Chain A
């Protein structure tokens, strides 16, 4: 039983550098989400995909952020020109949204990538 995995688990970078994170969802899940969590707060929604289509982006996701899920499986989140305010835990989650109306998509989270921008 493989859960959601994220790589790397920790990333330290200097301000202005670009970083990329990877998320591998649970294999049969068609939805993939990115959240950001800062200390003392709950996860904040950034964006999500259904298969390869990016269906919604939060206003938190500035132009420096881009996410992809090219084949509907793994996803990457890239942050360009990092700023100190980008320091946070970046969480990925996946869910299975089936075709029948009774389903509600419970999201299962990975361990997160902790980003520190110096």
Chain B
């Protein structure tokens, strides 16, 4: 059973518009959530995180929203840039527990 799901394998948006990437989880014990960006032939790069005590965290063009009751989080990128084109992974963990559980990723393409 997959505890973290990214149901959209791909997303294409126009440069300057908003990109919204979604993630659902099933394990209510998760209390820390992260987004990573991955380019081909590289390891995942940490982007932004959110603790379950918050419902929003913002860092520049990136904002993560957490809806605990729906077990859903989303990453908003505004405005989207061609350099944002990459695979985005959602990950979840239990506080101080160690391992992260990842979704299968969403490939974002930002068209000029």
A residues adjacent to B (C-beta < 8 A): 4, 6, 31, 33, 35, 40-45, 48, 50, 55-56, 58, 91, 93, 97, 101, 103-112, 114
- Stretch binding the partner chain, chosen from B12-20, B71-79, B99-107: B99-107
Q: Does B98 contact A (CB under 8 A)?
A: yes
| Cβ of A44 to closest chain B Cβ, rounded Å | 7
A45-B104 in contact given A107-B46, A109-B43 (Cβ < 8 Å): no
| Cβ of A15 to closest chain B Cβ, rounded Å | 24
| Residue ID in chain A nearest B102 by CB atoms | A42
Contact B96 A97 (CB under 8 A): yes
Query: Can you name 30 A-B pairs with beta carbons within 8 Å?
Result: A4-B43, A40-B104, A40-B105, A41-B105, A42-B91, A42-B102, A42-B103, A42-B105, A43-B102, A44-B102, A45-B100, A48-B99, A50-B98, A56-B98, A58-B99, A93-B43, A97-B96, A101-B96, A104-B49, A104-B51, A104-B95, A105-B96, A105-B98, A107-B46, A107-B100, A109-B36, A110-B43, A111-B41, A111-B42, A114-B41
| Cβ of A14 to closest chain B Cβ, rounded Å | 23
Alpha-carbon distance A44/B34, docked complex (angstroms): 15
Specify which of B34, B101, B103, B105 is in contact with A106 (CB 8 Å cutoff). B34
Specify which of B36, B43, B51 is in contact with A111 (CB 8 Å cutoff). B43
Alpha-carbon distance A52/B111, docked complex (angstroms): 46
Q: What residues of A have a CB within 8 angstroms of the CB of B42 in the complex? A: 111-112
* A42, A44, A108: residue with the most chain B Cβ atoms closer than 10 Å: A42
| Residue ID in chain B nearest A113 by CB atoms | B43
